[in-house]
Amino acid sequence: MSDVAEQTAQRRAKVAALRAGGANPYPARFHRTHTAADAIAAFEADPDATIPVIVAGRLVAKRVMGKATFAHLQDWSGRIQLFARRDALGPAYDAFLDFDLGDIVGVEGTLMRTRTGEITVDLAKAALLAKSLHPLPDKWHGLTDVEKRYRQRYLDLITNEDTRRIVRLRSRVVAAIRRFLDSRGFVEVETPVLQLVPGGAAARSFKTYYDALDAEVHLRISLELYLKRLLVGGMDKVYELGRVFRNEGVSHKHNPEFTLLETYEAYADYLDVLTMVEELLATVVQEVHGSLQIDLGEHTIDFTPPWRRETLRDAIYRRSGIDFVDYPDAESLRAVLRERGLHVDPSLGRGKLIDELLTTFVEPTLIQPTFLLDYPIELSPLAKKKEDDPTLVERFEGFVGGVEIANAFSELNDPDDQRARFEAQLAERAAGDEETEGLDEDFLLALEHGMPPAGGLGIGIDRLVALLAGAHSLREVILFPQLRSVR
């Protein structure tokens, strides 16, 4: 029997003994008065007072010294030391000694400071609240097996302070975004996850079957088309923070299921949205970090507005020597990419090939906050054409740390133009490109009723949190990332 299996067997035996003696190793309730952090703060505020506390959490360390034992209890707020004495607890002292690391316990006592200066609960009572049947990972320094950290995130949260830090940071980022948008008059809404026609992005969808409708439906790949319907309905400023699903591969910056923020503002254009993005991210960074500068590896990123601006055409030409305007069709552009040694899928259209140039030559160089503006129409079937150049659309993407974190358009509201763009996308799909827009007749009908000119925005929350947390992979900031099954 392995050491872990033996420990598990011993813990199960303890559970059986407790039940045989009439004790419940999993009681229904326990009322605490303080978290660990609250208890420490209360003592620091008045160290001369006698402060009774009732705290609860996981037992993460224990040091037995005969008739006295020191231990550490951990809850979500942090850790606090416990001091158990036989003369204070009486027969309950032996029960305390029988607690295992990983057990959830509740204790009652008064606060004191030890000779080493650590704020401690001097125990008067202790109770088992939930017996842990498995030992905590070896070496109380956190999990080192990355795969196990992701598959058993609960163990990662117990043992890894940095994981707990990222979870807290993510919550603060989302709350700051909501406060910013709410203060500007945006209304938060929810739109369907299951859709008959997935739209708003160039991506493959996940499919499922809806028994009641006797129809195949798709998990949404974007929030866009339903939020635009709300603009048609008269809402001026709307946003949604929602999960979207794209049937694609997994990488350090892609997960098939992720959280997306989308906003739509009537009577605004992409330059208005650009200014809002600068202000939004500066506000979030300031609230979360207390500064507009963050360290990212060897770089110090400065979010102070205004950000650098560059057209997509200039950005690609300066870094690759290729001016995509000189190659008006996919065949000629594909040929020059191959001359540069790039392997490109022969099914990709001109827009996707331009995106390959962006990804390969430009994106890794955009460390400081930068906006790239004015994209080819082939890449943006939902964006409004530039009036002075109908081959381009009013679109920008925002990049920080070599990663795209924001995407925005002046939204296309001409229903006839939109239909023609959808049909062009269907032609590309017929030619072999699966990652194209579908044709959503209901959305087109909504546009035919009149949608005001508007600016729309998408921000990937997972990428933003990874950037602000200094994480190198989205798996660090998604609590339960998609992983291959273990067979």
pLDDT for 1:
64
pLDDT tens figures, 472-486? 899 999 999 888 776
**Residue 161 to residue 60: CA distance in whole angstroms:** 13
Residues of the chain where predicted confidence (pLDDT) is lower than 50: 140-141
The span from the CA of 50 to the CA of 110, in Å, is: 7
pLDDT, residue 285, reads 98
The closest alpha carbon to 458, from 222, 221, 251, belongs to 222
**Pairing relationship of beta strands 385-386 and 68-75 according to DSSP bridges:** unpaired
* 459 within 8 A of 222, measured Cβ to Cβ: no
How far is C-alpha 278 from the geometric centre of its chain's CA atoms?
20
Global pTM value? 0.92
CB 354 within 8 A of CB 376: yes
**Which amino acid makes up residue 337?**
L
Q: Helix, strand or coil for residue 143? A: coil
pLDDT value of position 435 = 67
Task: Tokens for 337, please give them.
Answer: 């990419």
Nearest CA-CA partner of 478 in 209, 250, 281: 250
Contacts of 484 (CB under 8 A, 6+ apart): none
Note the pLDDT tens digit of each residue in 31-41.
999 999 999 99
In one-letter notation, the amino acid at residue 88 is A
